[in-house]
Amino acid sequence: MDKRLLDLLVCPLCKGKLRYNQAAQELTCPVDRLAFPIRDQIPSMLVEDARELPPEEEVEGV
């Protein structure tokens, strides 16, 4: 995914910066502990699509 695009994207809930988890192809919000999927290079920023990170899972990505 384009790094410039990542800079433009914010969490739809808290408007905070997201982390890019390349391995999982997800954008994660460490505040809300949500992971937004990236499908075909296009991140889905819908809360309905997001995966809740379980407490034992580290928030991965940069």
Return residues touching Zn ion (CB under 5 A): 11, 13-14, 16, 29, 31-32
Q: Shortest approach of Zn ion to residue 47 CB, angstroms? A: 10
Using DSSP's 3-state secondary structure scheme, residue 29 falls into: strand
Report the residue closest to Zn ion, judged by CB: 11
Written as one string, the DSSP assignment of 20-54 is: EETTTTEEEETTTTEEEEEETTEE---GGGPEEPP
Q: Shortest approach of Zn ion to residue 11 CB, angstroms? A: 3
Residue with smaller CB distance to Zn ion, 37 or 40 = 37
